[in-house]
Amino acid sequence: MIDVSRKPTTLRQARAEAFLRVSPEALRIMREGGLPKGDPLPVARVAAVQAVKRTAELIPYCHPVPVEHVAVDFEVGQEEVRILVAVTAIYRTGVEMEAMTGAGVAALTIYDMMKMVDEQMEIRSVRLLEKRGGKSDHRDRFDQPLRAAVLVLSDSIAAGEKSDASGLMICERLEGEGIEIVDYSIIPDEADTIRSKVLHYTDAQHCDLVITTGGTGFSPRDCTPEALHDIFDRDIPGISEAIRLHGQARTPYAMLSRGIAGIRGRSIVITLPGSRKGVADALDAIFPAVLHSFRMLWMDASPVHEAHPPGPTDTGAPADTPAPADTAASMDTAASMDTAASMDTDTATTPEAS
């Protein structure tokens, strides 16, 4: 089986359909309640639900999924029965196999209960209509690549006593997301140096994203949060919360990270732990969904989002201009509700690429 332990848990939905060709005479007998085994549709509905819940026992490489909801509907035509199955789960992997298995087993159940009145029945197809919740649904596309800087904060690495692994891992992941790396630097754990370097990235180079690694622990020299917090216009607590929540499910030490994230001008700054494992978990937790933050940031044209002019008088204090209501967040909420509602309809759509 594929290892999905690094994936974040998200809402997963899938819809599938199956078509069973049946003679008009057999359908007439079914409508009139004349089948020897009884009405096949209620039995097929139960069979589909059971099949969805036991898909991992039937398909060898499917992961057991904690299914939250199954909906089964039938459309009886003149010469066919269309079976629609919708599955919802909150998990790390999709539920398209569960939806297709449910539709297929429902078709087989109807076949079994009607075969004595129609020997020419045929299951014509079982196919996926739609799936949602994977990375492709949370990946934003940009006309121009985002620009990022990666900053490694470590006395020992800056002194040449150790080699960097975490910073290089961040660079590799960002490049894999299509982000341009404009600078990669290593500096010691000095608060003034850290602040000055990040301000250079945000105010002079106008980087979209700045990611630091190191300096978020409890050592007397760990000062990254203290060095950067006061330069933020606004905090983004959800990013750090997501990182710690994701990490805590994998190591009991994730809660000890003091990492923070925030907005300065039109830049987003994220501070990650210094360990390679901590960085790997953090990147898995926030990418690619974190890239949507730039859509939200760019929709807001308030003065607080204009880049701070660099200069010797810039103390890094937060802007005094209050931030307006976050209209982008409300739009995202409405869009999510529309998406969820569409899953309950019978409108067929083309499956999206995974």
Longest CA–CA span in the chain (Å) reads 89
Confirm if 125 and 18 have CB atoms less than 8 A apart: yes
Residue 155 known to be catalytic: no
- Work out whether the CA dihedral 5, 7, 10, 13 comes out positive or negative: negative
Residue with tokens 């700045």: 210
Burial class (CB in 10 A: 0-12, 13-18, 19+), 119: exposed
Distance separating alpha carbons of residues 313 and 316, to the nearest angstrom: 9
How many Å apart are CA 284 and CA 92, to the nearest integer? 12
Where helices occur in the chain by DSSP H, the ranges are 24-31, 40-53, 55-58, 96-114, 155-158, 166-176, 191-199, 224-228, 237-248, 276-286, 292-299, 327-342
Bridge partner residues of 152 (DSSP)? 186, 213
Task: For residue 21, count CB atoms less than 10 angstroms from its CB and return exposed for 0-12, middle for 13-18, buried for 19 or more.
Answer: middle
**CA distances, 237 to each of 244, 259, 267, 323 (Å):** 11, 10, 15, 16
The residues that bridge with 18 in the sheet, in sequence order, are 83, 126
The active-site residue out of 73, 112, 140, 284 is 112
CA dihedral 222, 224, 229, 233 (to 10 degrees): -170
Q: Which residues are annotated as catalytic?
A: 112
